[in-house]
Structure 1
């Protein structure tokens, strides 16, 4: 008999909730153990762990979706596994195998099936895999041991209001990442560096800030913790490219959808802040946000409004509906994008 949980699915926020089981595997003496599901949501680690002192840690974010037929599916978890491996390479951490990563996702979703929100509520089951360097280590060097863990939590929209336009402000005084730094991988330090800039933006009445390229401060890089895209007046889908941008799985999915489903020309290239009037629509995209329409961008003393501050542009809506449909099983997915949890 399936467990029942008392949750108001339609009013979930994007916040933590303890679920029943999470997956944990430990690396020691050059190899990963077999891994297991555990009830305890607390980790016990050495006070000298490199994750605590030197930021040797990385993480991922992906979701599980319940379809109209009550099946549960994952969206491109193998791509999250590969991206985590790239993060591990950058931080000299042992890579967790792609097949084991995907299997761990399936195990956690299956073990917490009661927390997968019903179809039609707009809510999803968010999965957070992460790896930390642990063990007794005071010097600045890679840790002697590592923990890979994966937990899940049911969530609602990342931005309140869901698929409604919000305004952003350009961050003039803070960079998200350094040139040749860790901006292209998913490590905690990138997010710690964004906290003050995010608070400043919210205090001014904006959803978040937009970061410009750290070298010249002339090109859009990221929208808070999400990727940027714009729709030009001649219907081209353009998104920034840079070594200091996290390669969003959602963004690359949208590039494919725009080209193959909507027959649009797609471009990864420089997006200069002084040339944003080329766009009739704009948005932020990522696993947590999915697509958040950008109503306007405040740059210096001017608010540049795209399609509308209150209504979603038609192409952004089509992109969202197609991606959302694929994730929830209502639109046929490209081969290899969907992994069913059985």
Structure 2
């Protein structure tokens, strides 16, 4: 069992902290180099890099967890590798071989094992893999060189006082175009979300809900997370659209709902005018796993699901089961867990 640094894990938020080492690999002349761990947390890149001017970049978010036995494990890193490569293809960047990606994650976590929070703290080691276009370039074209890097940051439990439902409001802004980059995890999607998020927060909501860009009648995403609802006849329902980011947490919850909780599951349109079909609702993603939704305001009408103050029983069970898998307390489906040895 590796030792941990002296940090008040309970007071950690979701903010940057420089830890010992990070991984970096460079692509030029048609191939990636071997990659290495470095101490420097700054990047020196050309002022003409495509990442700076044309948004040629993408990233991932994932975590390392410490089990009750003191082991360290990654949760479905192959899915992060696959999604990163989907994003790379979309913006014409070289793919990262899955074996290289997972090996880089393992190297990084092993090198920073002392920063993996202890079991029971609710905290985790967050990993941020990213790929950026660099090198001297002026025209709108793919970069001549690329950097693939991963850094790690210990982050605190998302719900410090326990899970509490929060409220959302639908937005008139679009997160992504119908045939745009919505399914890719690229920075431009997030830059465009900053204003809608601020508008929602200024109105007293946790974040906004994006509707489908073509008709504004169907729920697509909840801020930077995916939506799900539990129908009154106990179906787990989540929106299906080519402009939604394919959340690894969402697809894991689809499996957990069906195989562990025995629920029917559906990926389909979720009409914003039909919210009363759901007895519970939530947003899901890497940071919080699940954020319970108390209510949604749409065109001046506020719809409450299970409760604005208490988490619904199905949502709670989904959360406990998936967290149990991630922290090693519940048996995981085959291939979901990679131990860092």
TM-score by length of 2: 0.98
Write the deviation string for residues 290-337 of structure 1: whole angstroms up to 9, x where unpaired.
100001111121211100111100000010000000000000000000
Q: Distance in 1 between matches of 2:83 and 2:112?
A: 25
Which secondary structure does the structure 2 equivalent of 1:282 belong to? strand
- The residue aligned with 1:315 is 314
1:6 offset after TM fit, Å?
A: 2.6
- The residue aligned with 1:19 is 19
Q: Distance in 2 between matches of 1:218 and 1:162?
A: 33
1:157 offset after TM fit, Å?
A: 3.8
Unaligned runs of 5+ in 2: none
Which secondary structure does the structure 1 equivalent of 2:196 belong to? helix
- The residue aligned with 2:336 is 337
1:3 offset after TM fit, Å?
A: 6.1
- The residue aligned with 1:37 is 37
Q: Distance in 1 between matches of 2:159 and 2:213?
A: 26
1:161 offset after TM fit, Å?
A: 4.8
- The residue aligned with 1:243 is 242
Q: Distance in 1 between matches of 2:287 and 2:312?
A: 20
TM-score by length of 1: 0.98
- The residue aligned with 2:151 is 151
Aligned counterparts, 1:147-186, within 5 A: 147-158=147-158, 161=161, 163-172=163-172, 174-186=173-185
Write the deviation string for residues 107-166 of structure 1: whole angstroms up to 9, x where unpaired.
111111111011011111000000000000000000000000000001124466552111
Any conservation in 2 of the 1:165–1:311 contact (CA below 8 Å)?
A: yes
Which secondary structure does the structure 2 equivalent of 1:201 belong to? helix
Q: Distance in 1 between matches of 2:157 and 2:163?
A: 8
Q: Distance in 2 between matches of 1:167 and 1:95?
A: 38
Any conservation in 2 of the 1:162–1:292 contact (CA below 8 Å)?
A: no
Q: Distance in 1 between matches of 2:161 and 2:218?
A: 28
1:5 offset after TM fit, Å?
A: 2.2
Aligned counterparts, 1:1-342, within 5 A: 4-158=4-158, 161=161, 163-172=163-172, 174-342=173-341
Which secondary structure does the structure 2 equivalent of 1:320 belong to? helix
The 4+ residue runs of structure 1 with deviation greater than 4 A are 1-4, 158-162
Provide the aligned C-alpha RMSD in A: 1.2
Which secondary structure does the structure 2 equivalent of 1:89 belong to? helix
1:210 offset after TM fit, Å?
A: 0.5
Q: Distance in 1 between matches of 2:139 and 2:296?
A: 44
Q: Distance in 1 between matches of 2:143 and 2:156?
A: 36
Any conservation in 2 of the 1:226–1:289 contact (CA below 8 Å)?
A: no
Q: Distance in 2 between matches of 1:14 and 1:158?
A: 8
